[in-house]
């Protein structure tokens, strides 16, 4: 033990002095640091996204109920877990002010409401956010309700038997949704005044909501406790049900973050494996001497394991702080340059993850190389040409398996993990075939070049193993970069296209056919507004091909919603949607009984082209034949319909119109004019959701830019490590050739030709693999694919450029150092 | 029977073959020898004759394809690598043509290395003593890069003898040195060998050097062509 300790201490000191551990240490610090940084950043983004979505709910978790909620008991349970909670009561009722009457959506709240987000009110100061709520005896009302009632702040309004004072103008609630109740203008009152209204009795349609907020795990615990106790009238509400349009961007962004972390993880693995391989190669002779002097394999294992553990602990520790500092810096950068505010990351959790990842990375990708050193034959002291022991293949597979186990357990992304696994397997296979073939080709072609240039090509062709390794690693790095760029490009396209700056932020519903021209005229006078109008007919699906639909046939999924209530059908004389099956129709089909069905509805109900659907609208039934199946983006903020018919089929049925338009905040007074002119219309304000979505997308795009920066850093790290692994061999060749009379210029041309060919080939291989991998990930993340042919030209040139750049840094040093030194060191 | 009659190293029917792309290559063929304690023996032969291979088998650095070899009573051909390492640690010292010092260890640390591996008491004092003895008292804290070839070989000699081994294996110890330095190193090796009564197995192609040994063995293409007393 004493001997081993002496060896450990002296060996560590020796390695430190020789800077043998420097590259490996840097690889761990930078690789793990970048990974930690992405984790910190992901944690921060996750918090921001959670906050954003919670703000739109007004809470972290909600139970909605049509029967009274045992809120006292639940509140106590929530408080025991350190959570905040409150209850709201919502119902529709007529509100009177003077002679005017108007249907309003009333929400009774206490002082704790809202738990997340803030109420926006309007007063002499303009629109601003507030943490207060109406006190007992007072109400706040939406501007369009005030306009419809021709009321003013300070006047009395009547809700049932209660007379309350209008004390504030409510512009926006955090939990505005598109639910039925939200269609009527809002009144906010204090829950203490509710009994005095006397409007709620046994048959009243009331929605009780129990809101909870607090630490995520505590919320999850409470949810797990309460969920089994819920009755059929009580449902849990989250963003998926309330704001499906928010879910996809958040999900995509978080998946992209995970994907970036995976890319950086792979690059960090590569950097550590390469750095350790070089380190192990340099240790081979020392190991042989020690073995020759009688050190046992176990002693060698202890020496290297302790060196590695010491280094990895130290490097992982530094890496965590480096990662945290980098993430903090980037968050600060995003705040000051892009006005994107991300909260600070959860330090304890992410630092532990980063630390464990660092240790696992070292164990998986560094330890096998060092363990392999125990197999160094002491005979090397006599026969230096003896090859160093080759790393057993099972160590490589073991390392990859370990890495993916870590990814699996940390990121919980089976689809992405498997696609990455598939990608790496594909890369391994195709690289092996492609690179070997390409190198043979280069060797053949390179023979015809003049001497200084031929030197580099010959080096590639003759040192096949080393060239293959370099080409393989560099191609993998470039594949990661190109892959990231391709997916990033798809993200940016998908998001920017989805929510243009003039996307509709208001919907007008209940437009009667006879009002349509008047409403169009109203908008036509306002030059900036060009609304789209959609006809809507409410009808219930009753038959599919003469078979009456029954809820018993479709007990689960979304189908009950489609067959137990009226659907909003629309009609059109032409279709511009994306069709997955069948053909679109035009004006010539006006009087034919044709239907266009949304793809998910068709799938859930098992519908096919040619099937006949019968609907009932009041006393009228009508039947149409499915002419096409339509793809609908439910995550967009555009009006969508399950079924669109040809006009002739439903034109005689009672219908209303829905209009959607974009209105800037400076023109909101137009809404009051509209409501005044057409009092029966209801305006739905989705501006809050839109602006949240835009904020989200801006955050997302900024996050993607930050990730790009990190991926590039990780790639550069690997490239530098590769160059360092080759530096000794190149230095020796360079020294030998200079001794034989080669000029620096000739040597430079030789190196340049080598770098150029390697960079170009790597770029070529990488772009093919990246494009293939991007197609797989586009499918997983539901991203529209963008194909750009130019990338097949620019990518190899990019590879060439970056390889030259990194190569030149090292070449400069090689050409400057005296040949005698290099030769002496090799000897 | 006195100590010099005891066979410290014994090889019987020793052979080494390796597999090459063109077939089996015989490097050593049926070597028999006995080396008693305290005796110096030179293994001679031209390049490729198998002398370094024989040294590696006798020192337990490699195992024979056939035959037996024992060192200090240990049958090396039956031991695994770790057991052979233990034998080397306890009984063997090496001096190589390329010195094989750890480049970032100081001269003192290089000599300390086998002493610490063996767990010898007063290792540091012993190492200093040996460096004094080889004339490097003022170069103890220097690393190999700061030492001349001759000085590096002196450190290697100190390292080899410091553990008081039963046998020193020296593989072309002057192969990397000039003639003047070579003779100084040779003198040092033989003088120390005599003083410590250590067995010396010297591999060389230099006949004048071999003549300094008590016994000589000539190898030609893996076959022993004779032994001279």
> Nearest 5 degrees, angle CA A484-CA A316-CA A401?
60
Of B52, B89, B103, the CB nearest to A294: B89
Collapsing DSSP states into helix, strand and coil, what is residue A402? helix
CB B102 within 8 A of CB B109: yes
Any CB–CB contact under 8 A between A666 and chain B?
no
Cβ <8 Å between B88 and A293: yes
CB A796 within 8 A of CB A506: no
For A237-269, what is each residue's pLDDT tens digit? 765 556 666 666 677 777 777 777 777 777 888
Question: Residue B222: CA atoms inside 13 Å, Cβ hemisphere, count?
Answer: 13
Phi, psi (degrees; rounded to nearest 5) at A467: -65, -45
Collapsing DSSP states into helix, strand and coil, what is residue A744? helix
CB contacts < 8 A (A, B): 84
> What residues contact residue A677 under an 8 Å CB cut-off, 6+ apart?
A518, A522
- Is residue B3 very low, low, confident or very high in pLDDT (cuts 50, 70, 90)? very low
Helix ranges (H only) for A387-463 are 393-411, 414-446, 451-462
**Which of B117, B156, B162, B203 should one mutate to test binding to chain A, selecting the residue with the greatest count of A CBs within 10 A?**
B117
Cβ <8 Å between B52 and A382: yes
| Nearest CA-CA distance, residue B197 and chain A, Å | 20
Q: What is the mean pLDDT of residues A87-95?
A: 89
For A641-689, what is each residue's pLDDT tens digit? 888 999 888 888 888 888 888 877 667 677 777 877 886 777 776 776 6
Cβ <8 Å between A3 and B82: no
The token pair that represents A329 in the structure block: 């810096």
Query: Residue B155 pLDDT more than 90?
Result: yes
Distances (CA, A) of A416 to A42, A270, A346, A709: 16, 19, 24, 21
Of B61, B85, B87, the CB nearest to A295: B85
Give, as one character, the DSSP assignment of residue A93. Answer: E
Please state the domain extents for chain B.
39-61+80-215
CB A184 within 8 A of CB A95: no
Query: Residue A531 pLDDT more than 80?
Result: no
CB A79 within 8 A of CB A85: yes
Nearest to A649 by CA among A722, A570, A592, A583: A592
**What is the CA A407 to chain-centroid distance, rounded?**
17
Neighbours of A292 (CB within 10 A): 27
| Nearest CA-CA distance, residue A297 and chain B, Å | 6
Fold of the domain spanning B39-61+80-215: Rossmann fold (3.40.50)
> Does the N-terminal peptide bond of residue A114 adopt cis geometry, omega within 30 degrees of 0?
yes
- Is residue A819 very low, low, confident or very high in pLDDT (cuts 50, 70, 90)? low
Cβ <8 Å between B62 and A296: no
DSSP of A600-630: HHHHHHT--TT-EEEEEETTEEEEEEEEEEE
For A147-192, what is each residue's pLDDT tens digit? 878 888 899 999 988 999 999 898 777 776 544 444 567 899 999 9
Query: Residue A40 pLDDT more than 90?
Result: no
Tell me which residue has tokens 């060749």.
A733
The token pair that represents B75 in the structure block: 């049958």
Helix ranges (H only) for A545-614 are 559-563, 599-605
Give me the residues of A, 373-402, that contact B with CB < 8 A: 377-379, 381-384
Residue numbers in A near B109 (CB within 8 A) = 10, 14
Beta-ladder partners of B167: B92, B199
- Is residue B2 very low, low, confident or very high in pLDDT (cuts 50, 70, 90)? very low
For A736-790, what is each residue's pLDDT tens digit? 667 666 677 777 788 888 888 888 888 888 888 888 878 877 777 777 766 777 8
Cβ <8 Å between B55 and A382: yes
CB A194 within 8 A of CB A159: no
Cβ <8 Å between B104 and A17: yes
- Is residue A20 very low, low, confident or very high in pLDDT (cuts 50, 70, 90)? low
Cβ <8 Å between A292 and B86: no
> What residues contact residue A476 under an 8 Å CB cut-off, 6+ apart?
A266, A270, A427, A431, A766
Q: What is the largest CA-CA distance in chain B?
A: 53
Q: What is the mean pLDDT of residues A729-735?
A: 72
Which pLDDT score is estimated for B32? 92
Query: Residue A572 pLDDT more than 50?
Result: yes
Give me the residues of A, 277-316, that contact B with CB < 8 A: 285-286, 289-299
């Amino acid at each position: 033990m004493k001997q081993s300790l002496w060896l450990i201490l002296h060996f560590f000191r020796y390695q430190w002095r020789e800077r043998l551990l420097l590259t490996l240490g840097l690889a761990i610090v930078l690789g793990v640091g970048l990974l930690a940084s992405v984790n910190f950043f992901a944690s921060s983004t996750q918090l921001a996204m959670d906050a954003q979505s919670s703000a739109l709910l007004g809470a972290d978790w909600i139970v909605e109920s049509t029967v009274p909620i045992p809120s006292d008991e639940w509140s106590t349970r929530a408080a025991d877990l350190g959570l905040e909670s409150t209850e709201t009561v919502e119902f529709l009722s007529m509100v009177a002010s003077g002679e005017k009457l108007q249907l309003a959506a009333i929400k009774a709240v206490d002082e704790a409401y809202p738990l997340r987000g803030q109420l926006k009110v309007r007063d002499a100061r303009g629109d601003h956010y507030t943490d207060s709520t109406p006190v007992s005896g007072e109400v706040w009302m939406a501007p369009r309700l005030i306009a419809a009632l021709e009321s003013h702040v300070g006047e009395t309004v009547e809700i049932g038997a209660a007379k309350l004072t209008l004390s504030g103008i409510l512009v926006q609630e955090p939990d505005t949704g598109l639910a039925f109740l939200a269609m009527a203008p809002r009144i906010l009152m204090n829950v203490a005044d509710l009994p005095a209204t006397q409007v709620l009795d046994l048959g009243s349609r009331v929605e009780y909501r129990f809101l909870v907020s607090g630490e995520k795990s505590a919320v999850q615990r409470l949810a797990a406790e309460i969920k089994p106790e819920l009755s059929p009238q009580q449902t849990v509400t989250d963003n998926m049900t309330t704001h499906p349009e928010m879910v996809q961007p958040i999900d995509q962004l978080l998946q992209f973050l995970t994907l970036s972390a995976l890319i950086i993880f792979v690059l960090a693995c590569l950097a550590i494996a390469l750095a350790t391989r070089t380190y192990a190669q340099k240790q081979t002779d020392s190991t042989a001497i020690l073995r020759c002097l009688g050190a046992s394999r176990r002693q060698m294992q202890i020496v290297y394991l302790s060196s590695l553990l010491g280094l990895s602990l130290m490097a992982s520790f530094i890496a965590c702080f480096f990662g945290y500092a980098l993430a903090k810096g980037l968050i600060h950068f995003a705040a000051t340059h892009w006005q994107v505010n991300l909260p600070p990351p959860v330090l304890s959790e992410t630092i532990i993850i980063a630390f464990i990842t660092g240790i696992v990375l070292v164990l998986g990708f560094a330890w096998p190389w060092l363990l392999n050193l125990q197999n160094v034959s002491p005979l090397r002291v006599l026969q230096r040409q003896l090859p160093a022991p080759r790393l057993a293949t099972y160590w490589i597979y073991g390392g990859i398996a370990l890495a993916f186990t870590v990814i699996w357990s940390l990121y919980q992304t089976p689809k992405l993990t498997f696609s990455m696994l598939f990608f790496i397997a594909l890369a391994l296979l195709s690289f092996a075939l492609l690179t070997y073939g390409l190198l043979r080709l280069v060797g053949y072609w390179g023979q015809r070049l003049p001497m200084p240039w031929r030197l580099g090509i010959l080096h590639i062709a003759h040192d096949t193993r080393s060239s293959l390794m370099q080409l393989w690693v560099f191609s993998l790095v470039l594949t990661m970069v190109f892959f990231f760029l391709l997916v990033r490009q798809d993200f940016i396209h998908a998001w920017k296209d989805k929510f243009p700056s003039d996307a509709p932020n208001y919907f007008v519903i209940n437009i009667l056919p006879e009002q349509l021209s008047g409403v169009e005229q109203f908008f036509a006078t306002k030059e900036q507004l060009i609304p789209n109008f959609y006809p809507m007919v409410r009808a219930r699906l009753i038959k599919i091909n003469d078979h009456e639909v029954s809820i018993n046939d479709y007990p689960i999924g979304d189908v009950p919603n489609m067959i137990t209530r009226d659907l909003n059908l629309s009609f059109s004389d032409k279709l511009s949607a994306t069709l997955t099956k069948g053909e679109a129709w035009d004006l010539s089909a006006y009087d034919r009984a044709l239907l266009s069905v949304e793809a998910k509805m068709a799938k859930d109900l098992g519908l096919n082209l040619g099937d006949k659907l019968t609907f009932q609208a009041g006393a009228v039934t009508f039947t149409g034949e499915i002419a096409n199946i339509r793809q609908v983006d439910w995550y967009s903020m555009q009006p969508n319909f399950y079924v669109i018919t040809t006009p002739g089929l439903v034109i005689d049925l009672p219908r209303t119109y829905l209009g959607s338009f974009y209105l800037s905040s400076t023109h909101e007074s137009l809404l009051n004019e509209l409501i005044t002119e057409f009092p029966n219309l209801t305006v739905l304000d989705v501006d809050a959701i839109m602006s949240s979505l835009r904020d989200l997308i801006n955050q997302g795009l900024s996050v993607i830019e930050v990730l790009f920066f990190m991926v590039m850093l990780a790639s550069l790290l690997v490239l530098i490590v590769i160059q360092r692994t080759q530096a000794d061999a190149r230095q020796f060749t360079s020294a030998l050739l200079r001794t034989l009379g080669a000029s620096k210029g000739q040597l430079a041309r030789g190196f340049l030709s080598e770098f150029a060919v390697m960079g170009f080939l790597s770029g070529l291989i990488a772009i093919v693999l990246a494009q293939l991998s991007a197609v797989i990930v586009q499918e997983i993340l539901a991203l529209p694919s963008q194909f750009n042919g130019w990338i097949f030209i620019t990518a190899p040139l990019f590879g060439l450029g970056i390889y030259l750049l990194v190569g030149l840094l090292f070449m400069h040093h090689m050409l400057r150092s005296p040949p005698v030194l290099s030769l002496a060191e090799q000897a | 029977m006195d100590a010099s009659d005891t066979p410290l190293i014994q090889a019987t029917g020793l052979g080494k073959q390796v597999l090459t792309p063109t077939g089996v290559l015989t490097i050593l063929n049926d070597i028999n020898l006995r080396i008693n304690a305290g005796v110096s023996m030179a293994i001679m032969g031209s390049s490729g004759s198998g002398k370094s291979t024989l040294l590696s088998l006798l020192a337990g650095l490699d195992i024979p394809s056939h035959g037996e070899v024992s060192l200090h009573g240990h049958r090396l051909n039956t031991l695994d690598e770790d057991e052979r390492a233990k034998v080397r640690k306890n009984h063997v010292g090496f001096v190589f043509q390329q010195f094989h010092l750890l480049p970032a260890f100081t001269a003192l640390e290089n000599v300390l290395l086998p002493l610490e591996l063996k767990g010898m008491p007063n290792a540091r004092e012993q190492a200093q003593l040996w460096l004094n003895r080889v004339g490097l008292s003022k170069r103890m804290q220097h690393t190999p890069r700061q030492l001349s070839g001759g000085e590096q070989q002196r450190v290697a000699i100190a390292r080899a003898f410091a553990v008081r081994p039963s046998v020193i294996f020296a593989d072309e110890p002057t192969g990397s040195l000039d003639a003047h330095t070579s003779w100084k190193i040779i003198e040092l090796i033989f003088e120390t060998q005599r003083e410590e009564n250590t067995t010396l197995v010297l591999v060389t192609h230099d006949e004048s050097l071999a003549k300094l040994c008590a016994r000589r063995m000539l190898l030609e293409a893996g076959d022993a062509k004779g032994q001279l007393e």
